[in-house]
Amino acid sequence: MKFLTALILFFITNSYCEMKFNPSFNLSISGGKYYLDDRSSSLDLNLDAILSPVLSFDENRSLYPTYIGYYRGVQDIEELVGGDVLVRQRMGHSFSLKYVYLKDFNYIKPRFSYSINYINETKDENWGEGLFDYRTLSFGIEFEQERPNASYKEYFDFFSVDYPNYSTLLSKADTVIDTTTYSELSQNAGKDVLNSRNYRAGISYTIFPKNLTLTSSLNFTYKDYFDQALVNESGGFDSDKRRDLLTEAGLNLEKSDKKLYMGVSFYFNWLKSNQNSYDASRTKYIEDYYSYLSFDITPKITINLKNKGSFSYFFSYNRLNYLGRLSQDINGDYLSSKIYQNFYINSLAVKYEVSKNLYANASYSYQVVDSNMRYEAGYRYNYKSSNFMFGISWEF
């Protein structure tokens, strides 16, 4: 927080004109339930808050400090359902700062953010003690060029992801198993195996043909798991570390006016990882365990109603193909085919203004996931999930 304060003071003291302050605040509260196949969670709440007081120094310089906070008592249908976890709470706080400098329709936007995310797998778990709690620290910069018929963006970000409560069980096993066995198993195993350093670079290009907006994008993220050793054919660990490269390409087409918004997006993702896996219960070594290709298409429509209300619908189809991960039959025996999953999502949302800046909201989402993976002792590959939410939001 001292860094953020110093950075804000720097920009303020280096501005030459009177500063303008434009606050923006959104708060939403909703309640609902989550369903997984024929089971449901208890009724719970979701909370969201966004505070963004824009500071304009002059027509060319602005500062955007932003706080985003959330609480999730109701699971989203797109969350993973490994382990059949139906009751899970999430809470997070994110602080970001972006400075925008404009000259001759060219923008320079350095940015910084820090977030803390708490994930409780049971409701009696104390906040801050979740195994998968994580923190993210990010620095980056974006360049944008506006032209009469197009705009261009180039950006680079570094971000680190840290799991403060997670470490391998093996790293704590020296007092449980004998010294010789521990030494053999733990060699190169690592401790903070989920922590990573990430480097992302990308570009996007937007054009406006015939009252449409067409945006294409391409970005690459290099993921360095600096303490996660590679699994070898004997089930041990090599000295080399896990490295992933994520390639993402997208195309988004939009058309909107005062009454109607229509859009469709296409995204392609390719994750290439050098990490492998070893199933000790079946003495099976699986190479290239995490690499995958995925594709999704999402058409969406929003009808603007009177009194600033709206009705929205979207459908999403996603296909995920693992490149090395083998499918298994219901007994767990490995097959020759690779795992795939199909995700189908339908979502409806209604928003209506009940008084100035106060809105009533309702939404319903339904997802079906199917796969050629039949062994689900530890993770669900085939399921149906849904949730509904009712609530209010205040936008200032």
CA-CA distances (angstroms) from residue 160 to 44, 194, 195?
32, 11, 8
Task: Measure the CA angle with vertex 74, ends 71 and 79; round to 5°.
Answer: 95
Q: Residue 149 is which amino acid?
A: N
Bridge-partner residues for 44, per DSSP? Answer: 32
What is the CA 318 to chain-centroid distance, rounded?
Answer: 16
Polymer length of the chain: 396
Q: What is the value of pTM for the model shown?
A: 0.88
Per-residue tens of pLDDT for the chain, all 396 residues: 555 555 555 555 554 456 787 888 999 999 999 888 878 877 889 999 999 999 998 889 999 999 999 999 888 877 655 444 555 789 999 999 999 999 999 999 999 999 999 988 877 888 998 888 999 999 999 999 998 889 999 999 999 999 999 875 445 544 443 343 334 445 566 788 899 999 999 999 999 988 899 999 999 999 999 999 999 999 888 989 999 999 999 999 999 988 999 999 999 999 999 999 999 889 999 999 999 999 999 999 999 988 788 999 999 999 999 999 999 999 999 999 999 999 999 999 999 999 888 999 999 999 999 999 999 887 889 999 999 999 999 988
Separation in Å, CA 194 to CA 33, 135, 146, 223, 325 = 31, 12, 39, 11, 19
Scanning the chain, the segments in alpha helix (DSSP H) are: 2-13, 179-186
CA dist list (Å): 192 to 121, 245, 285: 20, 20, 23
Identify the pLDDT of residue 188.
66
The b/e string for 57-89 (b: 16+ C-beta within 10 A; e otherwise) is beeebbbbbbebebbbbbbebeeebeeeebebb
- Is 48 in contact with 70 (CB distance < 8 Å)? yes
Rg (CA), the chain: 24
The answer to whether 4 and 65 have CB atoms below 8 angstroms apart is yes
Report the pLDDT value the prediction gives residue 29, as an integer from 0 to 100: 96
The confidence score (pLDDT) of residue 2 equals 56
Largest Cα–Cα distance of the chain, in whole Å? Answer: 74
pLDDT at 102: 94
**What's the CA gap between 212 and 149, in Å, rounded?**
11
DSSP run (H or E) holding 55: strand 54-58
